[in-house]
Chains A and B, each alone.
Chain A
Amino acid sequence: MFVTYIRGVIRVMILFLFGSTGEIITEKSGHLNMGTPGIMCMGATGAVVGGVIYLKAIVDPTTANGFLAIIIPMLFCLLFAGLTGLLYCFLVNTLQCNQNVTGLTITTFGAGVFPFVSNMIGSDGLSILSSSFYIRIFPKAFCEANWFTQIFLSHGFLVYLAIIIAVVALLILKKTRVGLSLRAVGESPATADASGIDVSKYKYIATIIGSCISGLGGLYYLMVMNNGALEYNIESFGWLAVALVIFSLWNPGIAIAGSFVFALFYQLPKFISSSGAAAQIISLIPYFVTIVVLIVVSLFNKRETQPPASLGVNYFREDR
């Protein structure tokens, strides 16, 4: 029972992790991207489009090739999410539009596009494709050896990919010159510019990469969490992922632990099998926890725990 609960927690946790890692990278460049829920929706849209294109090409879904079934939806997902990130960055960085407004619009837009496109092109056969996504990467006998392997080693590859991406992002941000420059851009773009860093380039690349990672969350939601069935609840998960960025103090390493904690609370009503009003109240715990973290962070005014100093502020070179 407990093992099933933790496995369920890890299932949900990965969605939060994709979303928040992507958002952390974007925010480190000084872009407060409120469009992350919309970008996750766009990622899911890409996955539907890619999946349907592949299904049309092979005619009989049962003959699907495992590798192609994964890679084609994934590429389309990255393409859609990346293009949405590019649109956001173009509006905010080149056209100097307000970040909050642009982000919220992208969320509205993405949340509309996902059901619209997937209703239009249909989703028959996606559930067959989705089975490729949760093929375990370790052999079956090994996975079910004991409780440890059952919990941690019996997942599809996207689960491990999310954790690897978070760790790599942490290392790049903290240990490399690129990471240092990116942090400089987020803290003070004018200073970074003066020291010879191409601020625009960093903002564009960070936003697009961040959006691609968030977009993978959409793919994960569609293919792994819902087994290819169309559910349109990504938006609220996306907002929790944005909240998780605060919870993890802009650190992808803490985000791994943070997403686990969030998922733990998220799955709690199922575990203690409560229903009705009590279940509704328990499912609010992640939001309460985020608020408490926000307050605690503001009480202890440490430099390391603060958001990037120029977060949400556009940088216009000629205003220097």
Chain B
Amino acid sequence: MKKDRERIIRISRRTNLKWWQKILIKAIFVLVAFLMCGVISSLVSPGSFFDFYEYMFNGTFYNTKIFVNLLWQAGLLFVIAIALTPAFKMKFWNIGAEGQCLMGGLGALIGLKFIAPFVPNIIALCIEFLLAAIFACSWAVIPAIFKAYFNTNETLFTLMMNYIAMGIVAACVVAWSTSGSSVLGVVNNVNHEGWLPFVESFGNSYIFNILIIIGASIVIFLYLGFSQHGYELQVVGGSRNTAKYLGINVKSVIIRTMLLSGLICSVAGFLMVVGASHSINETLVNGRGFTAILVSWLGEFNVPTMAIYSFLVSFVSIGSSNAAAWIGYSSTVSNVLTGLFFLLIISSTFFVNFRVHIKLPKRKKNEETAISSKEGA
């Protein structure tokens, strides 16, 4: 009986899918995810199905300023995903981007607060970036050293480093905030010493930040695809023994790749502090480090795909919290919808990688099914 039941639905791996079929499957799931957003909205607040989409677009495409904000948020997510990708390709599960970005931000803030008022702006920016890089890279390289030499589990190591970074930032904020309010106000608010230049016509816009992000992504794209280093880290990810036989120094590749990961995270932290908030608190990164892991994974470590996913996720997240504000329910709906969006995209990977065979049992021809199943095996 049981064997008969198993034969109705059978799953097998498939590798012969054409590129447009993959895109079609994923696009269908993205559309379903968008539809679900509206459905959930109308469940919470009946009759808000079409309003939801209207407010969603208003919150993201209404005017240049709002659209640039969307691009900036998407770009931030994208640059963190980019930072994680080299490590993931090496099969080093760095889930510490949250902490690495936060430490980068802390480094930049130290430059901003204590050095920028006394030096010319261009030197201040260089020092801020240098500090951000030192902080973020050291946060990334500590787990890498232990992974390289003692094979310490990096997933939990980097996770713990996130919380230590948050604690250190919280402690710094308490120590630096003057009135005991444990909130650090905007640093250098009057003369903007050490701030990244911003284009006045867009208000406080993020055009400059976005340009830096595009630059960083091109560098990583070339590094991964067309350099000796990119090749080496891929071999280390595939098989450490193969890497050894090829004469690759596995330990140095692990440490080098994590230094790069930290460096790109420091770009994110630097931009968040020097190019946007000009302040810091422990929730500066706000879970983007975790979301970026999903973006990098689901984008299959492919830079253009990651860009598309970052954009879609930011669109869902910003748009839905705007819609929630206008229709009148809790803005935490954006977390729910982002989670749902990812769940559906994850499910789509099944249909890309596997094929479902449905075969109704033939009761009389027992012998025939036995033969065909032998052939299948």
Using CB atoms and an 8 Å cutoff, list the residues of chain A in contact with chain B.
Answer: 32, 87, 91, 95-98, 100-102, 104-113, 115-116, 119-120, 236, 239, 242-243, 246, 276-278, 280-281, 283-284, 287-288, 290-291, 294-295, 297-299, 307, 316, 318-319
Interface string of B146-171 (1 = CB under 8 A from A): 10001111011101110110011011
Min distance, Cβ B15 to any Cβ of chain A, angstroms: 13
| Across-interface contacts of A319 in B (CB, < 8 A) | 13
Which residues of chain B are within 8 angstroms of A120 by Cβ–Cβ distance? Answer: 44, 329-330
Q: Are A298 and B146 in contact (CB under 8 A)?
A: yes
Smallest distance from the beta carbon of B227 to chain A beta carbons, Å? 27
A277 CB contacts on chain B under 8 angstroms: 171-172, 174-175
Q: How far is the CB of B42 from chain A (nearest CB, A)?
A: 14
Assembly CA distance A276 to B164 (angstroms): 16
CA of A295 to CA of B290, assembled, Å? 24
Query: Known contacts A97-B350, A246-B156; is A91 also within 8 Å of B343 by CB?
Result: yes
B73 CB → nearest A CB, Å:
16
B179 on the A face (CB < 8 A) = no
Collect the chain B residues with CB atoms within 8 Å of residue A297's CB.
Answer: 152
> Which residues of chain A are near B182, meaning CB under 8 Å?
276
Contacts of B164 in A (CB 8 A): 284, 287-288
Q: Does B204 contact A (CB under 8 A)?
A: no
Query: Do residues B332 and A91 form an inter-chain contact, with CB atoms below 8 A?
Result: no
A290 to chain B, nearest CB (A): 5
**A246 B153 Cβ-Cβ under 8 A:** yes
* A115/B332 in contact, CB under 8 A: yes
Known interface pairs A97-B346, A108-B287, A318-B12; A294-B298 also in contact (CB < 8 Å): no
Docked CA distance A262–B350 (Å): 39
Q: Is the CB of B297 within 8 A of A294?
A: no
State in angstroms the CA–CA spacing of A16 and B22 once bound together. 42
A107–B163 contact, CB under 8 A?
A: no
A104 touches B174 (CB 8 A): no
Q: Please list the residues of chain B having a beta carbon within 8 angstroms of any beta carbon in chain A.
A: 11-13, 44, 93, 95, 146, 150-153, 155-157, 159-161, 163-164, 167-168, 170-172, 174-175, 182, 287, 290-291, 293-294, 297-298, 329-330, 332-340, 342-343, 346-347, 349-350, 353-354
Can you pick out 27 interface pairs between chain A and chain B where the beta carbons lie within 8 Å of each other?
A97-B347, A100-B93, A102-B346, A104-B290, A105-B343, A106-B339, A109-B339, A110-B339, A116-B330, A116-B332, A119-B329, A236-B163, A239-B159, A239-B163, A242-B156, A243-B156, A277-B171, A280-B168, A284-B167, A287-B160, A290-B156, A294-B157, A298-B150, A298-B153, A299-B150, A316-B13, A318-B12
Query: How far, in whole Å, are A96 and B174 apart by their CA atoms in the complex?
Result: 46
Q: Report the minimum CB–CB distance from B28 to chain A (whole Å).
A: 16
Neighbouring B residues of A32 by C-beta, 8 Å:
155
Q: How far is the CA of A97 from the CA of B156 in the complex (A)?
A: 21
The 10 closest A-B pairs by CB, nearest first: A112-B335, A109-B339, A280-B171, A95-B350, A112-B336, A298-B152, A277-B171, A284-B167, A119-B330, A105-B342
Give bound CA distance, A106 to B293, whole Å: 13
CB neighbours (8 Å) of B160 from chain A are: 243, 287-288, 290-291, 294
Residue of B nearest to A95 (CB): B350
Per the bound structure, the CA–CA distance linking A278 and B167 in Å amounts to: 10
Nearest CB in chain B: distance from A249 CB, A: 12
Report chain A residues within 8 Å CB of B333.
112, 116
Using A239-B159, A298-B152 as known contacts, say yes or no to A100 and B293 having CB atoms under 8 A apart: yes
